[in-house]
Amino acid sequence: MREIPKTRLQVMWNRLLAVVEEQGQALIRAAFSPIVRECGDISAGVFDLRGRMLAQAVTGTPGHINTMAEAVKTLRARFDIAAMKPGDIYLTNDPWIASGHLNDFLLMMPVFLRGEVIGFTSCTSHLVDLGGLGMGPDGADIYDEGLLIPPCKLLDQGVVSPLLLDIVKANSREPIANEGDIYALIACCEIGAHRLVEMMDEFGLDRLDPLADYIIDTSRRGTVAAIKALPKGTYQSSLKVDGYEAEITLCASLTIADDHIALDFAGTSPCSQKGINVPLNYATAYSVFALRCLIGPDIPNNAGSLEPFRVTGPKGSILNAQAPAPVAMRHTLGQLTPDLVYGCLHQALPDQVPAEGASCMYDLPLRNTPEAAMRGDGVFALELVYNGGTGARPTLDGLSATAFPSGVWGSQVETTEAVAPVLITKRELRVDSGGAGQYRGGLGQRIEITPANAQDFLVFLSVERVKNPARGRGGGGTGAPGRIRIGRAGEDLPGKGTLRVPAGETLIFETPGGGGFGDPFLRDAKAVRRDIREGLISEKAAYDIYGAKP
């Protein structure tokens, strides 16, 4: 095959990025569940014949995207390419292959050009309910947490497996939503495959290999060059987190070498008996994402830019949980790994790393009570997502009520009330919740939810930063901790476990604020006055913490 000029390869690379973005948007538009349709809890990507990720949609979570990058390699090795037919699609939700818990379905579709497999499309999204105890931390093992589907064929030459679909629906409290979401995932793979073939025809490509090699080699070289510029050495940090039965210590050792970065979780606490354990694939996904935000951030995310990062951890530690450990709420600790990693990295790059943030999204699975279902009053399962504040940056304030690192957008009031018997009576920023500093931490938010049909509902709590708030850097203050209670006069509740909200009562939860950066007395006086004017800090805080004059 004649060598392709680099300028033409670059044009094709840009076109490929457009293909995957359309692929991701197709999934969001077609999805039934609000957590996908409204919050973007997805991933979508294109892979070469070897299973290497070439491009990923911008919309999506690191937990889905970076686990998908490895999962396709596993599925490609599991199934014989020679036996694949046009229209075939493969599926699994195995947490140790896909994205860390049962509620995420991962699909892979071989792409055919003139009768030959030339690559794959893949996608992941969250299904709201797969039976068992559901989305909550109280399972004793993976079998309590719902339906596990090993790698299998979902579509055979374009025909959906009716038995598999029936099994998924029969094991869910939201069968219609699950069926719709599966078809949305199928559409995502199909539109990606269709657009990829169109692109290859337009550019006269018979194989993806030249473009794949160019993308991966260019991205790897750029990432290695960024690593070479870093101070070499080994840096260690630890993070104390709330846990469930007891507080947990997360430990990390980060080694920066000439051509790679190695991260190890040795010293981290062992697995919990509850479903907050994290498979290593998920811990790796968020840890590497955090590093890539600061190391070669302008380089697209693909197999080449991911390759120089290596993550290990002792088997049986809470960041390397082994089957059949319960892992339903793996995001609770998995999304704290960026703060753990940044605790190492700021020692090498003290002027570039933000303060700690709320980090773990406040994921609130809601469900009817068992007695309501037995009375025939209806069954529902809904998963709400809210976010706290990010840590202040070395030269900028943190962002309020913002999804970092997950990228999952907050649930909308109108959509929530339209699909479940709840009313959201208040949603506002928490004054003074951002950690004080020369640059202030982002604010958390306060949300109040009440039953809308005079019936109790259940909440499956698994949130962090209730006991251990986000720490500041460089003299910055801690952010406000999270807080959960029933009724304004109610006592503060723990961040994990099953909670019953009685009819007529109000669930009040407050998401954490991010830590501050730098000495608060160095904060610009105009910024303090602006914060007071916009209701972000109180006058008392301005005087007592920032030294503002009355």
What tens digit of pLDDT does each residue of 399-447 get? 999 999 999 999 999 999 998 899 999 999 999 999 999 999 999 999 9
Provide the percentage of residues in the chain whose pLDDT is more than 70: 99
Q: What is the pLDDT of residue 178?
A: 96
| Both tokens assigned to 55 | 């491009």
pLDDT interval class at 1 (50, 70, 90) = low
Q: Which of 324, 350, 408, 264 is nearest to 132 (CA)?
A: 324
Contact indicator for 101, 328 with CB cutoff of 8 Å: yes
Amino acid at 141: D
Give, in order, the Cα–Cα distances in Å from 226 to each of 201, 215, 222, 257. 35, 17, 6, 11
Cβ neighbours for 515, distance < 8 A, ≥ 6 positions apart? 355, 356, 357, 391, 392, 398, 435, 437, 441, 469, 470, 471, 472, 473, 476, 477, 478, 479
Q: What confidence category does residue 181 fall into, taking pLDDT thresholds of 50, 70 and 90?
A: very high
Compute the distance between CA of residue 163 and CA of residue 465 in angstroms, rounded to an integer. Answer: 43
**Number of residues assigned to the chain:** 550
**Integer angstrom CA distances of residue 416 from 263, 364, 467, 485:** 39, 12, 29, 20
Question: How confident is residue 488, by pLDDT bands cut at 50, 70 and 90?
Answer: confident
Q: Domain locations in the chain?
A: 6-220, 354-550
Identify which of 366, 365, 384, 364 has the alpha carbon closest to the alpha carbon of residue 453. 366
Tell me how crowded residue 86 is: count the other CB atoms within 10 A of its CB: 13
Helix (H), strand (E) at residue 179: helix 175-203
More confident residue, 370 or 261: 261
Mean pLDDT, residues 540-544 taken together = 94
Q: Could you tell me which residue, 402 or 377, shows the higher pLDDT?
A: 402
Question: Phi and psi (nearest 5°) for 542?
Answer: -60, -40
What CA–CA distance (Å, rounded) separates 539 from 550? Answer: 8
Average pLDDT, integer, range 165-183: 96
The tokens of 547 are what?
A: 């030294």
Q: What is the DSSP string of 164-175?
A: HHHHHHHT-S-H
Phi, psi of 346 (to 5 degrees): -70, -20
Q: State residue 134's pLDDT score.
A: 85
* Beta-bridge partner residues of 447: 427, 509
Q: pLDDT for 74-131, tens place per residue?
A: 999 999 999 999 999 999 999 999 999 999 999 999 999 999 999 999 999 999 999 9
DSSP 234-299: EEEEEEEE--SSS-EEEEEEEEE-SS-EEEE-TTPPBPPSSTT---HHHHHHHHHHHHHHHSSTTS
d(Cα 328, Cα 322) in Å, to the nearest integer? 13
| Predicted pLDDT of residue 370 | 84
Contact in structure between 419 and 464 (CB atoms under 8 Å):
no
Helix-then-strand count for the chain, H and E:
14, 19
Residue 550 has pLDDT above 70, yes or no: no
Does the structure show a pLDDT above 80 at 373?
no
- The mean of the pLDDT values for the chain is 95
CB 209, CB 49: distance < 8 Å: yes
487: which 2 tokens?
A: 């009724």
Instruction: Give the whole-angstrom CA distance, residue 373 versus residue 75.
Output: 38
Among the listed residues 433, 289, 297, 389, the one whose alpha carbon sits nearest the alpha carbon of residue 352: 297
Which tokens is 168 given?
């998924």
pTM recorded for the entire structure: 0.96
CB 411 within 8 A of CB 385: yes
pLDDT attached to residue 346 = 96
Phi and psi torsions of 331, nearest 5°: -70, -20
